[in-house]
């Protein structure tokens, strides 16, 4: 049996902001009918949090619950706990239309920290990142340099960004280039 490793083994770079591949993170894609009380009850019972609202992020006892679409959540949890939690949700929803799939090894997560984090992401994501339009507790699925990503704010100066593992090296290099201090315009 092999030992799991993250996409870039914790690579980091410091420029106008600090960029770090956060290492192994447990991730579960959850799909179901958000209006079905049994779905919400199963998520809360297993993960310890309420369903997030539209483009929302909520903290749960197990980690974060992130709205991805009207019938899809991403649960970000401890890497080793993901398979057990997904199985528990599936057991609670047996007989109901749902999906609880561990996707941890198919994704990479980056932290982008610093006062210029909004500006770095604004260079490549067609999203209004002004503080009045995007704040902690919100998520956006978008593109960054033509690659599919989702990102949310952990705090006022820290974004977390998730992408497919297969494009992790590209995303890291893109972020490093966007974080060259001389190239950072002040948008906000």
Judge whether 65 lies within some domain. Answer: yes
The answer on pLDDT for 2 being more than 90 is no
How would residue 54 be classed by pLDDT, with cut points 50, 70 and 90? very high
- 5: number of Cβ within 10 Å: 11
pTM of the predicted model as reported, rounded to 2 decimal places: 0.93
The one-character DSSP state at 152 is: E
Based on the fold, state whether residues 34 and 101 are members of the same structural domain.
yes
Number of structural domains the chain divides into? 2
Same domain (yes/no): 101, 154? no
Give the three-class secondary structure for 163.
Answer: strand
Q: Name the residue range of residue 97's domain.
A: 26-105
- CATH number assigned to the domain comprising residue 76: 3.30.70.1520
Q: Are residues 121 and 164 in the same domain?
A: yes
Say which CATH number the domain at 127 has: 3.30.1360.120
Give the confidence band of 188 by pLDDT, cuts at 50, 70, 90: low
Residue 160 lies in a domain: yes
Specify if 2 maps to a domain.
Answer: no
pLDDT digits (tens, 9 = 90+) for 148-182: 999 999 999 999 999 999 999 999 999 999 999 87
pLDDT attached to residue 137: 96
pLDDT at 181: 81
CA separation for the pair 45, 158 (Å, rounded): 29
CB 110 within 8 A of CB 171: yes
């Amino acid at each position: 049996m092999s030992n799991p490793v993250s996409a870039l083994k914790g690579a980091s770079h410091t420029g106008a902001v600090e960029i770090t591949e956060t290492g192994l993170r447990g991730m579960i894609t959850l799909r179901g009918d958000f209006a079905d009380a049994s779905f919400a009850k199963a998520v809360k019972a297993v993960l310890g949090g309420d369903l997030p609202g539209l483009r929302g992020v909520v903290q749960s006892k197990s980690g974060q619950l992130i709205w991805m679409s009207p019938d899809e959540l991403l649960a970000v949890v401890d890497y080793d706990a993901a398979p057990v939690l997904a199985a528990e949700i599936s057991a609670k929803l047996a007989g109901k239309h749902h999906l609880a799939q561990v996707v941890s090894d198919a994704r990479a997560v980056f932290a982008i920290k610093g006062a210029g984090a909004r500006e770095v992401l604004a260079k490549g994501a067609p999203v209004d990142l002004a503080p009045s339009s995007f704040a902690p507790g919100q998520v956006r699925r978008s593109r960054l340099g033509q690659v599919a990503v989702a990102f949310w704010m952990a705090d006022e100066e820290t974004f977390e960004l998730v992408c497919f593992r297969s494009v992790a090296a590209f995303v890291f290099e893109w972020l490093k280039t966007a974080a060259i201090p001389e190239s950072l315009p002040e948008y906000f």
